[in-house]
Every structure is written in structure tokens, then in C-alpha cells.
């Protein structure tokens, strides 16, 4: 019995579900019960009847699953090196400082700690950030921690968006340069350039499409075009290929940069998933009051259509 079969057997024995973010390598995605972006995984975590959730992603994602399922056991295959740097840029002290200065609702990207979510009025993901902000009646909104996502939302809203902190962001998406775009476009002049809203403004401004990871997956699958430059973490290409294989289709997928790797996402392996199911360690534990308050902010988001 190979490792994939052993994982499947353990899942069945323990009534466990494996959720994997779109940035996971192909071999991880192939043992997952569900693959998706932050929003889709939030919804799936809320809907599951499994007793155990194994989360293949970074720390804040597993915390979100626990917030939505406090009675379930949420496990991470690895905790060392899986802390999303951006999620830890927005601290309690920074939030308090801005809340003292502005009488405005706080919209927090799900890419944050549970403690930060507990201080929010509502959360958002890159797939619904503009809808969430525009659903609010206030004219001024505090938005954090990604300043580039704040830029994306500002271009789609009449509200005044105040990014907190001023320079929050994702090191992977901030690494893309105009030079990367020029090189890719010179080599593939007919390719559609898709970029994530965490990219810097100058990259967003030259993109053909700006979308969340799942938005990119859907766009490629539904498009008549044959070539796509993917401006996000490069393993999203493997995720898209899985869907194309199901349809018996082939399309040319080019990473905007080969260096676009989220090292925190790459700490998980099949061996670690098997060990996680066997030993049930690295359980996510959160304070009950933080769960209660953060859950309200996430559920407020899930009500936005």
C-alpha cells in the first residue's frame, strides 16, 4: 500500500477531511477532499460533517477552520515554518491605534491572526473584498493588512479606504516587477495576463484580469484563449492543470516569475499528512472568546452575496 492509499484509509477510519489551499503542490492537492481559495475553504470548513479537519495551508487558514468549527478537531500537518508573514503584520496594538483615530468599521482580510479577526466588524477574502466593503453603509473603512488589496478595492468603491498598517503585504506578490511582465509578454505576446489583487498597483494596472486564485482557475477553464501568464504563487499552475486534466484539455500556463514561491505553504508533505492523521498532533487551539468574536466577523462576510 503506497502513502496515498494509507492516507485515504486513515481518513476513512477517522472520519477526517483534508482541505488544501490552491498553492499546495500537486501531490498534496490530489489527496485532498477539497481544494480552494480562502473563501471556498472557509465555506467548506463550515459545511463539513467530518470529525477531524486536516488543513494543508498556513496558520491563519487552519485557525479560520477552527473558528467555524470549534467543536471539531482541526489539525495541521506541520506548524514549524507555516506562519504567514502578512497575517502577523496586523497586530492588536496597530488595530487599537487606528480605532482610536477613526470611527470607522474594520474590514479584515482573512489572511490575519484569529486575534485580529476577533477585533473586526467583518472579514473578507481576495474573492469578495470589494463586495464586502461596498456592503457597508459607512463612508470610511479601515482595511488591513494588505495595502495592495486595499488599492484594488479602492478602485472599485466610492468609500474612503484606509489601509492598516500602511505597508502591509505579501512578499510573494510584491516580488513581481514590470520587468517580469515585459519578459513574459515578449515571449508570449498572445497570452492573457492574470494577476492576484495582492500584486503591486503597477502590476494590477497592466493586467488583463485581476482575480483571486479560484477566480483565475475559473477564468482559464472558461476562456477560449490558449495561453495564460499566471501572476500569483506558481503552484497555482498545478491546481489549474488538475482541472484541465479532468476536462481532457491542455492550455499553456506560464508563471509570471519562477521565483514566486510561498515557502510557508511548502512545509507540508504527504509524509507529514500521514503522520498527522496517525498521531493527531498539531491541533489548533484558540481562546473561546476569540473564537466567538472572530466567528461573528467571518459569518458577517459569509452573509454578503
Residues 103 and 165 in one domain: yes
* 213 has binding-site annotation: yes
Helices and strands (DSSP H and E) totals, the chain:
15, 12
Residues 163 and 298 in one domain: yes
> In which domain, by residue range, is 165 found?
86-171+293-302
Residues 25 and 77 in one domain: yes
* 181 has binding-site annotation: no
The answer to whether residue 260 is domain-embedded is no
- Decide: helix, strand or coil at residue 65: helix
Residues 74 and 118 in one domain: no
Residues 270 and 242 in one domain: no
165 preceded by a cis bond (ω within 30 of 0): yes
pTM of the full structure: 0.94
Q: Look-up: residue for cell 482575480?
A: 211
CATH number at residue 201: 3.40.50.10800
Q: Residue 115's closest CA among 93, 82, 132?
A: 93
The answer to whether residue 275 is domain-embedded is yes
The answer to whether residue 228 is domain-embedded is yes
Residues 62 and 91 in one domain: no
Q: Look-up: residue for cell 502590476?
A: 203
* 38 has binding-site annotation: yes
The answer to whether residue 182 is domain-embedded is yes
* 110 has binding-site annotation: yes
Residues 158 and 189 in one domain: no
Residues 92 and 236 in one domain: no
* 109 has binding-site annotation: yes
Residues 57 and 99 in one domain: no
Q: How many domains does the chain have?
A: 3
Where helices occur in the chain by DSSP H, the ranges are 3-14, 26-29, 38-47, 59-68, 92-101, 114-117, 129-134, 147-154, 171-174, 178-187, 201-204, 213-222, 236-247, 270-279, 288-302
* 153 has binding-site annotation: no
* 276 has binding-site annotation: no
Residues 200 and 237 in one domain: yes
* 199 has binding-site annotation: no
Residues 90 and 121 in one domain: yes
Residues 90 and 75 in one domain: no
CA–CA gap between residue 299 and residue 296 (Å, rounded): 5
* 197 has binding-site annotation: yes
What are the pLDDT tens digits along the chain (305 aa)? 899 999 999 999 999 999 999 999 999 999 999 999 887 888 898 899 999 999 999 999 999 999 999 999 999 999 999 999 999 999 999 999 999 999 999 999 999 999 999 999 999 999 999 999 999 999 999 999 999 999 999 999 999 999 999 999 999 999 999 999 999 999 999 999 999 999 999 999 999 999 999 999 999 999 999 999 999 999 999 999 999 999 999 999 999 999 999 999 999 999 999 999 999 989 999 999 999 999 999 999 999 98
Residues with Cβ within 8 Å of 56's Cβ and at least 6 positions away in sequence, in order, are 18, 19, 20, 21, 24, 28, 32, 77, 268, 273
* 126 has binding-site annotation: yes
Amino acid at each position: 500500500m503506497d502513502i496515498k492509499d494509507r492516507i485515504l484509509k486513515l481518513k476513512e477510519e477517522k472520519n477526517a477531511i483534508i482541505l488544501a489551499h490552491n498553492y499546495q503542490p500537486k501531490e498534496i492537492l490530489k489527496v485532498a477532499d477539497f481544494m480552494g481559495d480562502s473563501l471556498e475553504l472557509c465555506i467548506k470548513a463550515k459545511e463539513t460533517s467530518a470529525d477531524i479537519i486536516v488543513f494543508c495551508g498556513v496558520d491563519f487558514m487552519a485557525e479560520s477552520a477552527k473558528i467555524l468549527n470549534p467543536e471539531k478537531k482541526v489539525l495541521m500537518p506541520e506548524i514549524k515554518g507555516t506562519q504567514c508573514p502578512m497575517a502577523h503584520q496586523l497586530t492588536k496594538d496597530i488595530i487599537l491605534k487606528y480605532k482610536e483615530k477613526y470611527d470607522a468599521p474594520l474590514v479584515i482580510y482573512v489572511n490575519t491572526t484569529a486575534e485580529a479577526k476577533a477585533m473586526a466588524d467583518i472579514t473578507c477574502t481576495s474573492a469578495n473584498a470589494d463586495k464586502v466593503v461596498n456592503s457597508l453603509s459607512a463612508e470610511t473603512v479601515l482595511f488591513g493588512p494588505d495595502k495592495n488589496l486595499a488599492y484594488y478595492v479602492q478602485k472599485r468603491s466610492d468609500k474612503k479606504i484606509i489601509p492598516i498598517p500602511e505597508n502591509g503585504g505579501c512578499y510573494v506578490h510584491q516580488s513581481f516587477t514590470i520587468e517580469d511582465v515585459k519578459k513574459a509578454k515578449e515571449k508570449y505576446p498572445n497570452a492573457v495576463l492574470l494577476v492576484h489583487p495582492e500584486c503591486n498597483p503597477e502590476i494590477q494596472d497592466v493586467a488583463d484580469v485581476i482575480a483571486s486564485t479560484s477566480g483565475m482557475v475559473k477564468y482559464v477553464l472558461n476562456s477560449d484563449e490558449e495561453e495564460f501568464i499566471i501572476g500569483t504563487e506558481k503552484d497555482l499552475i498545478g491546481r489549474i492543470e488538475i482541472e484541465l486534466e479532468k476536462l481532457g484539455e491542455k492550455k499553456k500556463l506560464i508563471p509570471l516569475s519562477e521565483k514566486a514561491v510561498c515557502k510557508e505553504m511548502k512545509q507540508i508533505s504527504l509524509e507529514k499528512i500521514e503522520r498527522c492523521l496517525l498521531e493527531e498532533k498539531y491541533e489548533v487551539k484558540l481562546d473561546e472568546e476569540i473564537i466567538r468574536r472572530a466567528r461573528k466577523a467571518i459569518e458577517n462576510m459569509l452573509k454578503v452575496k
